Structure 1
Amino acid sequence: MAIPQSPLGLFGTDALIGEEDRAIRDTVRRYVEDKVRPHLAGWYESGEIPARDLAKELGGLGVLGMHLEGYGCAGTSATAYGLACMELEAGDSGLRSLVSVQGSLAMFAIWQHGSEEQKQEWLPRMAAGEVIGCFGLTEPDFGSNPAGMRTRAVRDGGDWVLEGTKMWITNGSVADVAVVWAQVQEGAEEKIRGFVVPTDTPGFTAPAIKQKMSLRASVTSELVLDGVRVPASAMLPKARGLAGPLSCLNEARYGIVFGALGAARDCLETALAYSGEREIFDKPLAGYQLTQAKLADMTLELGKAMLLALHLGRLKDAGTLTPAQVSLGKLNNVREALAIARECRTLLGAAGITLEYPIMRHANNLESVLTYEGTSEVHQLVIGQALTGRAAFR
């Protein structure tokens, strides 16, 4: 029997990845295969995930905040972080989301914008997975337009008092600390400022969102801030305005550029294996021209997306990656990953809708990845602005 060619192996992309980065990728791949994959279908079906146990395992693996330097973080290359995201999402988007929100949103916000005291207090424990973080930006009425947020922080003596609601917050119900963004009155202007809020602070609640068809193996929550009082030292001193939270989102979006390819690769490898074994009219499904045309087209798109991701990784490692380039990567790679998942589902027929195979789970998850941390439309507008010099967001 013919041995199928690995989709990315056909492109020879391993030759473009350094030895150390490949070793990190392979370590994460083995962890996902051995420790996580056997449980994913059950977690997805039940809508439950052992987030605290996973956080400790992932912290021991060194992937939480792995691309940050100091404070217990591994200080890897951006490319290595991207490859780790790809392997995590080859398991499940929810697993990559846990790591992404922890490292690229909550930890990065403190690392980039926090005081030395905040960094020392939180980052080592977050890197170890002893403390879970979440990132409170999106609100029920303000997703693509975070500048319109209604959450307010009001000075009261030496403290700040936070009032508001956040929505669609990954890790929220299990988090020990939340980075919360709020409008603050500074002179005649309102500015967006960030606050590091322990979740056991009185007035802070995080009810879980349960009725989901996507990202079921992930904790998604609402954050309710009802008179949450924090000291002045809780404010992130180096983040002023919307640029603060947007810098964090760019970090997380970069991980998605690679992560989505993990889901696509897993779908394509599953379809290759299935079509090689499934017999239709007395020969394998893989032996038909229509099947091979689908597999060839999907491999082409996956390979091109991988080349784009590696190119963006090099730009990030060189310190020259721009937000518009991150938008190029997220727009293309999530769009193509979702198309690959849907096409692979057709090759499995009815079996493709079951949890015996990962394809429908990936497809459902990618529907969330398509719209979180910037919808496709928003990324089109970011790219359009870079091309034309004209903002068309309103």
Structure 2
Amino acid sequence: MDTFELYGIDALLTEEERDIRDTVRDFGDKELRPHVATWFDEAKLPARDIARELGRLGLLGMHLEGYGCAGTTAVSYGLACLEMEAVDSGLRSLVSVQGSLAMYAIHAYGSDEQKQEWLPGMAAGEKIGCFGLTEADFGSNPGGMRTNAKRDGEDWVLNGSKMWITNGSIADVAVVWARTDDRIRGFVVPTDTKGFSANEIHQKLSLRASVTSELVLEDVRLPGSALLPGAAGLAGPLGCLNEARFGIIFGSLGAARDSLQVAVDYSLTRDVFDKPLAGYQLTQKKIADMAVELGNGMLLALHLGRLKDAGSVSPEQVSLGKLNNVRKSLEICRESRTILGANGISLEYSPIRHAANLESVLTYEGTTEVHTLVIGKALTGVSAFG
């Protein structure tokens, strides 16, 4: 029996949600899992090939309506993220950035022309998107960004740089946020535009099965139609981040579930002092404690998913989910590694890879500290931000 069976999770899901989950799990087990340790080890990912397969399955922008998107429930999207991250956080990041950041930005804030031009190809995985918000000196404080957009007649001219951008060097389109004379605005930037370049970041120790890049914009001239008309101020990019954070609430549990299952399986086959490691009380305590945290995290994720589908989830609740589930999932991955002993540092087993990835997930799209202060403000009514 695994943790989700122990908690009776299947009974809380619809038949369609179970079917979507099982389809993504089957795809991950057959097409991705056999290769992921090599991708992580070599820091190389065939992202375009994978994106086309994900598009064929309908996973890219799956929770959006129209333009070739599947229009599923938020819970179904969350379950898909969980199954992708059970293989590797980098693969879930590919889905999240494509669907919940780049596609969502165009879907929520773009013009009809922008939606028609980009969304069908992105949903099919034929066009890759990235999301340019974070800068080298401005992560938790995006409002301090230096990237700027200046009017020049009917055109816009963008200058600046963005850092830690998933999919950046393979993207066909970048949603770039820049400071204007008025407010922070978003722009749809084809990556073949003169003055745009993307440099892949190497020597990472986390999210190695993911393409991470720096974007550089040097006098990038765009027509007025490149502006996202529906977004003005930080509310636009923060709305996109809230979408992606929701996927992480589910996704991080996938890394934890896989790590725990690997640890349980190992403990049953590893003999220590002439009996299975699983037969020792301390091992069973570790397994039971991890299962409780994993199951509780799943119940929280499902609850927030139902609220999101009802249109009533708040940003503070998403912060709570992201804070708890990533933090607990990272603890589960680390503890699972201890059950494997020295074998646990090998890429033959997944827990240390998942733990290394979750170190990034713990930080991106809102650090632990930021989400803690969001929750603190919600409870006290007093902002502790600078």
Q: Partner of 2:199 in structure 1?
A: 207
What does 1:115-264 align with in structure 2 at a 5 Å threshold? 115-186=111-182, 191-264=183-256
Q: What is the Cα deviation at residue 390 of structure 1?
A: 1.4
1:331 aligns with 323
Residue 30 of structure 1 and its aligned partner are, at CA, apart by: 0.2
Partner of 2:63: 67
Within 5 Å, give how 1:62-101 maps onto structure 2: 62-101=58-97
Could you tell me how far 1:286 is from its partner in structure 2? 0.1
Separation (CA, whole Å) in 2 of partners of 1:210 and 1:57: 26
Indicate the residue corresponding to 2:352 in structure 1. 360
Residues 367-378 of structure 1 mapped to structure 2, 5 A cutoff: 367-378=359-370
Residue 107 (structure 2) aligns with: 111
Whether 2:304 is the aligned partner of 1:312: answer yes
Q: Which amino acid aligns with 1:298?
A: M
User: Which whole-Å deviations, capped at 9, do the CAs of 1:308-328 have from their partners, x for residues lacking one?
Assistant: 000000000000000000000
Distance, in Å, in 2 between the alignment partners of 1:279 and 1:12 is: 31
Amino acid at match of 1:357: Y
1:179, CA displacement in angstroms? 0.1
Q: What SS does the aligned partner of 1:185 have?
A: coil
Task: Tell me which amino acid in the other structure corresponds to 2:162.
Answer: K
Separation in 2, partners of 1:339, 1:20: 31
Instruction: Report the Cα distance in structure 2 between the residues aligned to 1:34 and 1:257, rounded to whole angstroms.
Output: 25
Aligned partners of 2:10, 2:384: CA distance in 1, in Å? 39
Q: Percent identity?
A: 72
**Cα deviation, residue 211, structure 1:** 1.0
Once the two structures are superposed, what CA deviation does each residue of 1:67-94 show, in whole Å capped at 9, x if it has no partner?
0000000000000000000000000000
Q: Which residue among 276, 298, 313 is the counterpart of 2:268? A: 276
Report the number of matched residues.
Answer: 386
Q: Aligned partners of 2:336 and 2:284: how far apart in 1?
A: 12
The structural deviation recorded for 1:392 is: 1.1
Partner SS state of residue 154, structure 1: strand
Instruction: Tell me by how many angstroms 1:8 deviates.
Output: 1.3
* Aligned residue type for 1:128: A
**1:227 & 1:391 partners in 2: Cα distance?**
38
How far does residue 7 in structure 1 lie from its aligned partner after superposition? 1.4
TM-score (norm 1): 0.98
**Structure 1 residues without counterparts, runs of 5 or longer:** none
Counterpart-to-counterpart distance in 1, 2:119 and 2:377? 35
CA–CA separation in structure 1 for the residues paired with 2:167 and 2:16:
30
Matched to 1:268, the amino acid is: L
Give runs of aligned pairs for residues 336-355 of structure 1, distance below 5 A: 336-355=328-347
CA distance in 2, matches of 1:196, 1:25: 32
Matched, 1:285 2:281: no
Cα drift, residue 389 of structure 1: 1.3
Q: How far did residue 388 of structure 1 move?
A: 1.2
Give the unaligned 5+ runs of structure 2: none
The amino acid that maps onto 2:178 is A
Aligned-partner Cα distance in 2 for 1:392–1:152: 28
Query: Partners in 2 of 1:322 and 1:223 — Cα distance?
Result: 31
TM-score (norm 2): 1.00
Q: Distance in 2 between matches of 1:366 and 1:14?
A: 26
Residue identity matched to 2:46: P
- For residues 259-304 of structure 1, what are the alpha-carbon distances to aligned partners after superposition, in whole Å with 9 as ceiling and x for unaligned? 0000000000000000000000000000000000000000000000
Paired position in structure 1 for 2:47: 51
- Which of 360, 371, 389 aligns to 2:381? It is 389
Q: Distance in 2 between matches of 1:352 and 1:17?
A: 33
